[in-house]
C-alpha cells in the first residue's frame, strides 16, 4: 500500500496537482466495509508523503457508469477491460468537481 501511495504522491507532484481525490468504495447501502478502511489507511499514508490536500469521493456505481458509457460509445469489448478503471476514475473526479461547484 505504501508503494502505491508513494507512486501517487510522485505523480501528483510531477503533474502539478493541487489536490488528490481518492475514490471511496462504500457499500451500496452507504455503509463502510473493509475496502473503505483500506482506502482510508491509504489516504493516511498519502498524507505523510505529500502536502497536498487529500479528499475522498463516493465511487459507488462508477464501474457501472463506465460500462454504460462504453456501451453508448460502441467501445469494443476487448478494449473495455483495459480502460474501465480509467473511465471510472474520470467519473469519480467529475462527480467530485460537480459536487464542489454546487456547494
The pLDDT score that the predictor gives to residue 33 is 87
Q: Name the least confident of 48-52, 60-64, 96-100.
A: 60-64
Cα–Cα distance measured from residue 24 to residue 36, given in angstroms and rounded to the nearest whole number: 6
Q: Find cell 502539478 and name the residue.
A: 16
- Interhelix angle 2-15/34-49, rounded to 10 degrees, is 50
Distances (CA, A) of 28 to 24, 39, 43, 68: 12, 16, 21, 18
**pTM to 2 decimals?**
0.82
**Is the distance from CB of 19 to CB of 55 less than 8 angstroms?**
yes
Cα–Cα distance measured from residue 72 to residue 53, given in angstroms and rounded to the nearest whole number: 35
- The model's confidence at residue 102, banded by pLDDT at 50, 70 and 90, is confident
Amino acid at each position: 500500500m505504501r508503494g502505491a501511495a508513494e507512486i501517487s504522491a510522485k505523480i501528483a507532484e510531477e503533474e502539478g496537482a493541487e489536490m488528490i481525490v481518492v475514490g471511496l468504495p462504500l457499500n451500496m447501502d452507504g455503509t463502510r466495509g473493509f475496502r473503505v478502511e483500506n482506502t482510508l489507511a491509504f489516504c493516511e499514508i498519502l498524507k505523510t508523503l505529500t502536502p497536498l490536500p487529500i479528499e475522498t469521493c463516493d465511487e459507488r456505481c462508477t464501474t457501472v457508469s463506465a460500462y454504460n458509457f462504453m456501451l453508448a460509445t460502441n467501445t469494443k469489448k476487448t478494449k473495455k477491460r483495459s480502460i474501465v478503471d480509467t473511465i471510472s476514475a474520470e467519473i469519480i473526479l467529475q462527480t467530485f468537481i460537480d459536487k464542489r461547484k454546487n456547494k
